[in-house]
Amino acid sequence: MATSLLAFITAFAVVFLVELPDKTMVATLVLTTRYRAWPVFIGVIAAFAVQSVVAAAFGSAITLLPDRLVAGVVALLFGIGAFMLLKEGFSRDEDSADESGTSAAVPFWRAALTSFGVLFAAEWGDASQLATAGITARYGAPLAVGLGAWLALVAVAGLAVLVGRKLAGRLPTHWIQRVAGTIFAVFAVIALTQVF
């Protein structure tokens, strides 16, 4: 029980921190400026649910390998995540969402499906997906990790939908990416020490 709770808290905290400055949050902000909030939120959280299951299943499959190999795979996953976050956090090019959009009058199902498709595609190979797989492999608690990761993704999507474009302009995303990248690098080093 204690391991599951620790896995849940770790997954929630890491994924929440990683997702704040991520492209998926920006995509949610942009979708919210184009469509009504509820269909965007429903589509986004459904995409996150599927991606969390995929990542936790991948992490569970990793646990079937020998312990030293698992530690190596976990180190690799966190290393890749650290590289991606630090590269983005230190890049000079700032992605900016088009803020001139207005809400479009489209059916609920169309906005929800569009939001699902955009976020489902954006999450493949994302740092949060790698983190979810790595944390699952580390703790061997796929349900707790998947649920923690999904709730963190839902919380970030909720912030993006509620606060909208104003939030994107106030977050120091490059600093959040740098901190998250450093945390991933530390996790990678810890896992790497277990290989040898």
Please write the tens of the pLDDT for every residue from 72-122.
Answer: 877 887 788 778 768 877 875 554 444 344 444 778 998 899 889 888 877
59 band by pLDDT with thresholds 50, 70 and 90 = confident
Positive or negative: CA dihedral 173, 178, 184, 187? negative
Contact indicator for 25, 135 with CB cutoff of 8 Å:
no
φ, ψ for residue 95, nearest 5 deg: -75, 135
Helices (H), the chain: 2-19, 23-34, 37-62, 67-90, 108-123, 127-139, 142-163, 165-170, 173-193
Buried b (16+ CB within 10 A) or exposed e, 134-154: bbbbbbbbbebbbbbbbbbbb
pLDDT at 97: 42
Q: pTM of the prediction?
A: 0.68
Q: Which residue has the tokens 């703790």?
A: 139
Two tokens, residue 46: 């459904």
Find the mean pLDDT for residues 168-190: 70
Give the 3-state secondary structure of residue 108: helix
